[in-house]
Structure 1
Amino acid sequence: MKIITIIGARPQIIKAAAISRAIKNKFSKEIKEVIVHTGQHYDANMSAVFFEELEIPKPDYNLNVGSGKHGEQTAKMLSGIEEIIENEKPQALLVYGDTNSTIAGSLAAAKIGVPVVHIEAGLRSYNKSMPEELNRISCDHMSTLLFSPTEQGVSNLQKEGFQLGNEGPYSIDNPKVYHCGDIMFDNSTYFAEKANTDSEGLKEVDFNTPYILTTIHRNANTDDPIALNNIFKAITYLAKEKSETIILPLHPRTKKMMDQLLTEELQTKLKDLPNVKIIDPVSFLEMIALEKNAKLILTDSGGVQKEAYFFKKPSLILRPETEWVEIVAQGAAILCDADYDRIVAAYEHFIQLDNIEFPHIFGDGMAAEFICNEIITHIK
């Protein structure tokens, strides 16, 4: 069986590692994988290094679409993927998550009649102003096999009319929904030990000193002067008044927006606080090392808040809502948005807790093998 895997953004490259590893180790005689990189993110720090350290096969195709407006970017991907599908004639096309690469791949395949396999199906933030929400909803409704990492995801799909327990043959009109666990949990489990030894790029981080790991990248935070100043006001408070060490891997674009939008007073405070350590973007293994050793995680990333849970770290989520509602319901994360008072209050809440429960809600670390088995069984 030939499947086309669509990747385009850094999180998708990481997720793809789990499926590619399962194919290589257990399903190489049953599945031939053709990897298509749309080029949605493509520079050494955001893409290439991940293929190397996660041992992912290099892409068979790269569309090199680069950045651009949503419509322009998606249209280029749609055209390029459609041509590849026609040339390769796969039995299925596999997509991850909720990016423009995901929606483009789903549209191209569904219109030609190639079954779409959606990994991370059923996630909902219930905020349609987010492009990701529109992408994930649309992709689910074009998919034949839908693999949800959580029970909540399955419940979300049921509310939208998906039926459970369908019998084959499966198609876009008769899709099958699975609760399979999270392939990012597969990866975090697999690479956790390696991350301890492959983090030489973090020489400026003292793992023996407790620290708060912070990541900021969403446009709603980086491009809004009020939001960005509120977040950094909270960071400087934690560093100065609470003597917390803050580790902040910072993408150049976020740094650029800080220079443009932060008040002079805040910029001066940040420069005068040696315990606020702004470092270059990190690789996946370095990020795992940072997450494993942090005392607390402050983030607007969907992936990082979930990985915080994997490593039993409480998280302060710099968003008004999250698609990972389970970790908030469990009491392992608090939604703070870009609100100074809520960030500080959430910090105080977690610092005073002696024990936080992190039950297994993301599967057993074997989701990739389960997915491959089901693809072989049900895609003809």
Structure 2
Amino acid sequence: MIKIISVVGARPNFMKIAPLHIALDKYKDKITHLVCHTGQHFDAKMSDVFFNELNLPKPHFHLGVGGGSHAEQTAAIMIKFEEVVLKEKPDMIIVPGDVNSTVACSLVAKKLNIKLAHIESGLRSFDRTMPEEINRLITDVISDYLFVSEESGLVNLRKEGIDESKIHFVGNIIIDSIVNNMHKIDKSDITERLNIEKRNYILVTFHRPANVDDKDKLIEIIEFLNKLSLHKKVVFPIHPRTRNNMIKWNIFDTLSSNIIINEPMGYVDFVNLTKNAFLVITDSGGIQEETTFLGVQCITVRENTERPVTVTVGTNQLIGTNLNNVYNAAMLIVNGNIKKGNIPELWDGQTAVRIADFLAKMEF
């Protein structure tokens, strides 16, 4: 019996491991698949609801690490995950994405000479000031199996000298979660609960520290949203950190009545909001992919993206962090300048099946 431990720690991880867990069920006579939750996202709204909605099993292991600095969090995950690995002796560890849990558990795996697979390999922003970029680079260099979601990942890994035999183009597993759960997504009544008209609101997410941990920048963002809300209602689900900062700096009172503030929401409601939005404005990574698959206009408020296929093939526009430029880009869309996009190669909802089939054929 092959024993595999998959690691989750933050919201984006859950959508990547859930479809894999379902796909591996076909091979349950050969593969035991266990899930370890590091607790990197420790707010129930940021994690527990995702387990329930995505049909992930209750984690077999919960490290309960919580917050802290990058160093504190990474070190704590390594210490606790090593205990699990030494006891369980898995044949392989699978890590998705680019969060601290990803790199921490990757290091533990390789220090103990355990096979390591990375889902979403090869993505590069080429901005090493981003913690996620460091996590991606380190994880890819020590992984034995690199599962790639888009063409740029193949190009990057080859340029970095990764052995071709380790690289596997399987498609984007986050799309599997959308496809698998579309029946639930379409039944969500979130637009009715928020009293908004489908295709006639702008969905906005800002969570990166550079945007929400700086008082002047956060005030600038709120002024931008107020201006935007003159044209369409704005739905703004806010990260707990953003909410705390807005309270601390007395920013809530400056919000337009046409801006709807929400607590972090579950996967089903959020994808429904994304699917039915006129436009999405974000500094996130995964939302660029979801909007491209769903055919929704997206503006990314960053200077770079590690998911360039969303721009070259999809509906995403990379505008930068100058909010005047973002506003101008949004107004072009409001006035009918719609970017046409296509769905990238292998974003077909079958990525998890391809990975599961590959794993089942492996000899350990």
Q: TM-score, normalised by structure 2?
A: 0.94
More displaced stretch, 298-307 vs 127-136 = 298-307
Q: 1:85 to 1:298 in 2, by over 3 A?
A: same
The CA deviation at 1:321 is 1.0
Is 1:358 paired with 2:346?
A: no
3-state SS of 1:95 partner: strand
Paired residues of 1:148 and 1:177 also in contact (CA < 8 A): yes
Post-superposition CA distance 1:178-217 (Å, at most 9, x none): 1111011111112122112244596124244610001111
Is 2:320 the partner of 1:337? yes
Give percent identity, aligned residues only.
Answer: 36
Query: Structure 2 residue aligned with 1:369, among 333, 341, 353?
Result: 353
Aligned residues: 362
SS at match of 2:361: helix
1:327 match: secondary structure: helix
Q: What's the C-alpha RMSD, in Å, of the aligned pairs?
A: 1.8
Taking the aligned partners of 1:362 and 1:98, their CA distance within structure 2 comes to: 22
**Structure 1 residues 267-286: aligned runs within 5 Å:** 267-270=252-255, 273-286=256-269
Counterpart of 2:16, as a letter, is K
- Tell me the distance in 2 between the aligned counterparts of 1:201 and 1:246: 12
Q: CA deviation at 1:36?
A: 0.8
Q: Partner of 2:115 in structure 1?
A: 115
Return the match for 1:319 from 299, 302, 327: 302
**1:141 match: secondary structure:** helix
Question: Within 2, Cα distance between the matches of 1:9 and 1:340?
Answer: 28
Q: How much has 1:362 moved relative to structure 2?
A: 4.9
Of residues 173, 179, 182 in structure 2, which corresponds to 1:192?
A: 182
Distance 1:331 1:350, change over 3 A: farther
One of 315, 319, 332 as aligned partner of 1:349: 332
8 Å contact from structure 1 (residues 211, 296) kept in 2: yes
Instruction: Kindly report which structure 2 residues correspond to 1:148-227, keeping only aligned pairs within 5 A, or say none.
Output: 148-164=148-164, 166=165, 176-199=166-189, 203-208=193-198, 210-227=200-217
Residues 100 and 135 of structure 1 are in contact (CA less than 8 Å); yes or no, is this contact kept in structure 2? yes
Task: Determine the structure 2 residue equivalent to 1:66.
Answer: 66
In structure 1, C-alpha distance between the alignment counterparts of 2:215 and 2:13, rounded to whole Å? 29
- Matched AA of 2:324: D
Normalising by structure 1, report the TM-score: 0.90
Q: After TM superposition, give the deviation of residue 268 of structure 1 in Å.
A: 4.3
Match of 1:255 in 2: 243
SS of the residue corresponding to residue 341 of structure 1 reads helix
Distance 1:362 1:183, change over 3 A: farther
Which stretch has the larger CA shift, 80-89 or 291-300?
80-89
Aligned with 1:235 (options 217, 225, 229): 225
Aligned counterparts of 2:354 and 2:199: Cα–Cα separation in 1: 40
Structure 1 pair 315–261 and aligned structure 2 pair: CA distance change class (3 A): farther
- Matching of residue 6 in structure 1 with residue 11 in structure 2: no
Task: Give the equivalent residue in structure 1 for 2:311.
Answer: 328
Distance 2:71 2:323 in 1: 35
2:37 maps to 37
Which AA in structure 1 matches 2:17?
A
Aligned to 2:290: 307
Name the SS for the 1:103 alignment partner: helix
> For residues 90 and 59 of structure 1, what CA distance do their matches in structure 2 show?
16
Q: Which range moves more in the overlay, 325-334 or 136-145?
A: 325-334
Structure 2 residues not aligned, in runs of 5+: none
Match of 1:85 in 2: 85
- Structure 2 partner of 1:18: 19
Separation of aligned partners in 1, 2:47 and 2:176:
20
**Secondary structure of the corresponding residue to residue 35 of structure 1:** strand
**Distance across 1 between alignment mates of 2:310 and 2:333:** 14
SS of 1:233's equivalent? helix
Q: Which of 264, 270, 281 matches 1:298?
A: 281
